Structure 1
């Protein structure tokens, strides 16, 4: 049951990361804000992995018995890195098109995508109670993000970006889990290695891209060191929680419980951005609790 506290911690950190990214997106482009998520996360992930080996120095390093497994593992790492970059950039773009909570709500279609793709292509087995939790959680996210009031106002472009972001996040999570399982290391070493490799590749790709195409964006991040550091710190801490939880439990259940992030987002919107909550929020909160209970019992 360790996946439960790891998931709750990850959701809390991710809610703050999204809040800081929203602030940063007011002045910088989507690619720059996406880089802020990873630029300092690599050293933090490396320090976390070093701490694990300092705690248990007898743990082995990753190794593969055949080349095919190493190729598959590499494909998962590259795929997860690229999909997470795309998902984050799409969500930042959502922040610029719609209000904060709706942007997060659209991107949180991740849970239902993870369930569908996991069962169809990754051998995930979900009980009826697990499916119930996934569906109820998706409905709760719609209520909490205010989708009912803005359904007629949301453009097809916004809906497309939201679905694409959720699908990209789901693929990222599924490939991260598969990569962690291939390493066959004790918990939480496999998740920590995958985290370090994914973040390092993402940082390398984004720094290279911006260095060639838009050097001014790198300067923009340097001019906002405090906010950039907060985005990176909360992002890495959240990823430690997500990667650890997904190495223990199926992605669909982890991401359904992780929808409590929307609750944290609403609280941040209320007390940090001074946004007034709508009346239906109490129903959304009740559904989040029901969904969380379903996936924990599943």
Structure 2
């Protein structure tokens, strides 16, 4: 049951990371905000891995082609997912925008069963289904307020995050190291690759964005720290339990985001949004019992 506290930690830290990213996106480009998620996370992930080996020494990993493919695919998918999420924040308020990205749980359940031979109990599927209804309510879909750009961006971001999570879990399983060392190796390799790719891209295409991040060190550091701690939670939880259950429980992040949205950004939610948040709580309870 260790996957539950790790998932709750991840959801809490991700809610704050998204809030800091929203603030940073007011002055920095989408690519720059995406880089802020990773730029200071590598040394933190390296420190975490070193501490694990100091606490419990295990054998060093052997990387094969399958593992490398999962790492590269996960790194690229997470960059795309984050960029789409930042764009989403510009179209809808914070809590609802990030709530739409939680379609990741539904998509991860479907893709996990179809492509990676994962299984879910009946109660687990009920939890995922409740999460799906919650996402629909949080999308604000109605005759008067339906927005295709918001819905499609949310689903695209959720799909990219779902693929990231599934590939991260597969990479951890392929590596075959004891808990939690395998997840820590996957974490540091994914973050390092993402950082190198984005820094190279911005160095060639948009150096002004690198300068903008340098001029906002506190906010950039906060994004990276929250992202790294959140990723430790996600990667570790997904090495223990199926992605669908982890991500469905992780939807409690929206509750944390609601508080941040109300008290930090002074944003108001519609009545249907409150129903969506209630269903997320019920979905979380269902997957924990599952």
Task: Give the TM-score normalised by the residue count of structure 2.
Answer: 0.96
Q: Give the count of matched residue pairs.
A: 290
Q: Mapping of 1:95-110 within 5 angstroms?
A: 95-110=89-104
CA deviations over 1:181-234 (Å, ceiling 9, x no partner): 011111110000000000000000000000000000000000000000000000
Q: Does 1:62 align with 2:61?
A: yes
Does structure 1 retain, via aligned residues, the 8 Å contact 2:22–2:89?
yes
Say which of 106, 124, 129 aligns to 1:135. 129
Which consecutive unaligned segments of at least 5 residues does structure 2 have?
none
Q: How much has 1:90 moved relative to structure 2?
A: 0.4
Distance 1:277 1:107 in 2: 17
Distance 1:169 1:111 in 2: 9
Which consecutive unaligned segments of at least 5 residues does structure 1 have?
65-69
Q: How much has 1:281 moved relative to structure 2?
A: 4.8
What is the root-mean-square deviation of aligned Cα atoms in Å? Answer: 1.4
Say which of 170, 179, 184 aligns to 1:187. 179
Does structure 2 retain, via aligned residues, the 8 Å contact 1:141–1:259?
no
Task: Give the TM-score normalised by the residue count of structure 1.
Answer: 0.94
Query: CA 1:152/1:86 → structure 2, altered by over 3 Å: closer, same or farther?
Result: farther
Query: CA 1:81/1:262 → structure 2, altered by over 3 Å: closer, same or farther?
Result: same
SS in 1 for 2:275: helix
Q: Mapping of 1:106-255 within 5 angstroms?
A: 106-143=100-137, 145=138, 147-148=140-141, 152-255=144-247
Aligned to 1:67: none
Say which of 266, 287, 290 aligns to 1:295. 287
What stretches of structure 1 move > 6 A for 4+ residues in a row?
none
Does structure 2 retain, via aligned residues, the 8 Å contact 1:101–1:146?
no
